[in-house]
A and B are shown apart, each in its own frame.
Chain A
């Protein structure tokens, strides 16, 4: 009786989980990358629920049918070695499921690692996102402006984030636009995201980096290209320039609010890529460091080879 109740609760929980999905941030995507991921998640939840239900079903059947209390006192269970057929099914079905999921997974990997297909024809906006304990610095090299702890992005345009850190490993995450990637001190990681619709999104560091971790967040606002251009011009007119002293002060440990500057720290403190890379050294890449368009094709490969070459 208790068993049945437990199974019912479990099934109930799973159903609520499936019906309640839409309200969760990750399952409420506002960009193509997050959409790919949300689709994968929903698909895998359905397939996995199927497996869970089969296991629960067999368990319930065995327990109901073969309880000692339901059998003759002199019943002696037989000796059964196993059966090729049964075991072939037990291996075969999971193998089919894993193969299917692997195909889906590999396809999605390539999708989320490259610029979103639907905005392929548009020039990507490059934003350098770096962390120092416990804040986010966003540099817009083309616009020549920089923000702290907030991010304005245009909609329907691919955004190419260049991630790195001035300290512990952090992880750049905007759940509604797409999954995260690490920002580390000695290399630059590339993350491709895009927003379909205007709106405000939560962004945070997802990897533990000490005392101020919980508040290591930033706000993301997606807006039309016109509004974005307007904002850029406004910043250029009104914000104070980012000096080296000012930036050094920002790098000190602690929380600060949001702020905006003209100019970027990239000019006086270059990111760890190309000739400035920690372990991405090698003269051949130094040419790429000031030429983003040629780099963007090879960037994911670069970080890949950087890992493997050590």
Chain B
């Protein structure tokens, strides 16, 4: 009985029962389907044990989209609850769990894997490499992220979801005020996926610094690779802080240490400091690769080189430095006095300058270009005005005296959605449409794509612009209800309609994938957009080894040079290619980490100890294992190339 009570959901509702049934049915359907079509072997060989950066990238992409719908469903429930004053659809506890999960899922388990998907898939191709520096570590990174995401997702049906906000401020997040295991889930889900992210950071930096094709100096790297490099450097500096903060938080919750308590010498503002020393750079980890994608797309569809390449790189480096100097603006109201607030107010507003440089560089990339508006380009063009509105409101928030009035209000919520959605989500959708033909060999339907882009962007405006007004009218964020006399009703209703529009847009994306998979022409070249950089020099679909011959680079737009200025891209002849072997260990290790996290969430010490041993056994196995990879012979390469290039 005790066990049952421990794992039961503390606040059951029809929605949770429906989810339970849905999860159960999905699992049964997947297992039955795999067995019926005899796909277990295929799944294991081609996906679960793969170390190929392209397949890992695709797995990240699928996970990100799944989580987008998970977090989106939360968003719809929140907006529906607030659409009318004194709504009784959700109670306070349920609402708190939903906004906490929405924030956590969207940042950690949607936006992060989305950028990881493109980094994994594109970076090695853009720099002319055959894989990342540590392919097996890369697989492990993915499985740690994935298992972290799953751990957070089961919290909804086993034991209770986190309910202290995605920022999980102590002492609210401590046992005294958050009694359910929800916050334990938060701690372990973020910890496990955070470890994966840190490994990716190290992996990508090594890949970019050590594995570029001959001739590709740092200042000849495509902009997406540059942005990935900078973002990964931020990851390596920022994520250890999160790791430490989460360990301390976990210790407080499980072992009654007093790092963040309000009594016994703990310090509650320490959590806020740690969280935002990681959390503020985190937003640049997300947005810089997104900027990189925009640079690629805008340059490609303007038919022109990127304007101000050097200042683009410079501004990213400056942003990365400033990102570590502004965390205090997240708690201007913590009473640190006028001097401290003034300093952080200035550093915060200073970020607007390099960001502005990037906006103007994109605008000048259009100058004298030959602009073709495709779906990816449409997202990139819609990004500029919406992001500008989001960005300038960021400057407004940066004025700390004024922030006293915006702090914790819907104004802030409006601001960060108006930067993160166009900044990150639009970029990822643009990249999704742009790189789809490289990944799958056909173009997503342009007509549906453009409709979707318009619906999503206009709905973003409709959903978030009203929040600026309700915020200025005194609506605090995270309120599960409000009275009619406040007058917030109209703004929240508009937001709800916008949210519905966003949902329709995202469903249309799925429909587009379905429609195009069935009807799109497979007869496209490997370079359907007339693009400029190396990833488009490979055949589609990309063979396991990426490049049969290592490319020779002499400029940023190397493919463009090869196409129009007679640059010889692939000198020399085929040679045997050394590739890493697949391994099931990363997946198995990921599963053990899942069980490890789950055991700790519920304080089950015997499984916790045995899974810990399991982790070390896997690591030991890797240390003692002899695995030198394999060679792909010239004959095989010739066959593959002939088949793919259709020569």
Chain A positions near chain B (C-beta within 8 angstroms): 2-3, 6-7, 9-10, 13, 17, 20-21, 23-27, 34, 36-38, 40-41, 44-45, 48, 51-52, 55-56, 58-59, 62-63, 66-68, 71, 75-82, 86-87, 90-91, 94-95, 98, 101-102, 104-106, 108-114, 133, 163, 165, 167-169, 171, 173, 175, 178-182, 184-187, 189-190, 202, 204-214, 278-279, 300-301, 303-304, 307-308, 310
Contacts and interface: CB of A to CB of B under 8 A. Distances in A.
Interface in B568-584: none
Contacts of A189: 334-335
A271 to B, nearest CB: 13
A76 B565 CA distance: 13
A165 B305 CA distance: 57
B489 interface: no
Nearest to B100: A208
B404 A179 contact: yes
Contact of A304 (B333, B337, B395): B337
A186 B335 CA distance: 12
Nearest to B270: A310
Contacts of A178: 404-405
B476 A168 contact: no
Nearest to B262: A185
B253 interface: no
Contacts of B468: 17
A298 to B, nearest CB: 10
8 contacts: A51-B392, A59-B385, A62-B369, A66-B371, A80-B305, A87-B311, A112-B401, A206-B409
Given A62-B366, A68-B370, A91-B353, A6 B407 contact: no
B335 A101 contact: no
Interface string B445-461: 00000000010011001
Contacts of A209: 172, 177
A180 B408 contact: yes
Nearest to A187: B335
A212 B96 CA distance: 10
B401 A98 contact: no
B384 A168 contact: no
Contacts of B165: 208
B331 interface: yes
B543 interface: no
5 A-B pairs with least C-beta separation: A179-B404, A185-B262, A304-B337, A108-B401, A189-B335
B96 A55 contact: no
A206 B392 contact: no
A86 B364 CA distance: 9
A90 B356 contact: yes
Contact of B465 (A13, A95, A168): A13
A278 B389 CA distance: 42
A87 B308 contact: yes
B27 interface: no
Contact of B480 (A56, A71, A205, A214): A214
A204 to B, nearest CB: 6
B353 A94 contact: yes
A48 B476 CA distance: 23
Interface in B311-362: 311, 331, 333-342, 345-346, 349-350, 352-353, 356-357, 359-361
Nearest to A53: B388
Given A48-B396, A181-B334, 12 more contacts: A6-B385, A23-B473, A48-B392, A52-B385, A94-B353, A98-B349, A105-B399, A168-B171, A169-B171, A169-B172, A180-B408, A208-B172
B331 A182 contact: yes
Given A109-B338, A111-B401, A307 B269 contact: yes
A81 B304 CA distance: 10
B385 A20 contact: no
Interface in B395-419: 395-396, 398-405, 407-409
B393 interface: yes
A209 B163 CA distance: 10
Given A109-B338, A109-B341, A77 B368 contact: yes
B607 interface: no
Contact of A211 (B92, B268, B340, B367): B92
A54 B387 CA distance: 14
Contacts of A68: 303, 370-372
Contact of A56 (B93, B336, B338, B385): B385
A181 B339 CA distance: 16
B381 interface: yes
A165 B477 CA distance: 20
A208 B95 CA distance: 12
Contacts of B356: 51, 90-91, 94
Nearest to B334: A182
Contact of B342 (A81, A106, A204): A106
B474 A300 contact: no
B341 A59 contact: no
A6 B458 contact: yes
B353 A95 contact: yes
A76 B382 CA distance: 25
A179 B405 contact: yes
Contacts of B360: 58, 86-87, 90
Main secondary structure on B side of the interface with A? helix
Given A101-B349, A301-B337, A26 B399 contact: no
Nearest to B370: A68
B177 A168 contact: yes
B458 A214 contact: no
A105 B401 contact: yes
Contact of A210 (B96, B303, B340): B96
A105 B269 contact: no
A27 to B, nearest CB: 6
B297 to A, nearest CB: 15
A211 B96 contact: yes
A109 B344 CA distance: 11
Nearest to A106: B342
A36 B401 contact: yes
B396 A45 contact: yes
A265 B304 CA distance: 71
A231 B527 CA distance: 80
B478 A213 contact: yes
B126 to A, nearest CB: 20
B262 A55 contact: no
B23 interface: no
B147 to A, nearest CB: 29
A95 B309 CA distance: 20
A171 B333 contact: yes
A183 B457 CA distance: 39
B517 interface: no
A133 B177 contact: yes
A113 B340 CA distance: 12
A108 B399 contact: yes
A28 B96 CA distance: 31
Contacts of B371: 62-63, 66-68
Interface string B255-279: 0000000110111111010000000
A66 B349 contact: no
Given A80-B368, A82-B311, A211-B96, A171 B335 contact: no
A19 to B, nearest CB: 12
B479 interface: yes
Given A77-B368, A187-B335, A63 B402 contact: no
Contacts of A184: 262, 268-269, 334
Contacts of B331: 182
Contacts of B342: 105-106, 109-110
B472 interface: yes
Nearest to A186: B262
Contacts of B270: 310
Contacts of A112: 401, 404
Contact of B392 (A9, A52, A59): A52
B168 to A, nearest CB: 10
Contacts of B336: 303-304, 307-308
B482 interface: yes
A178 B307 CA distance: 45
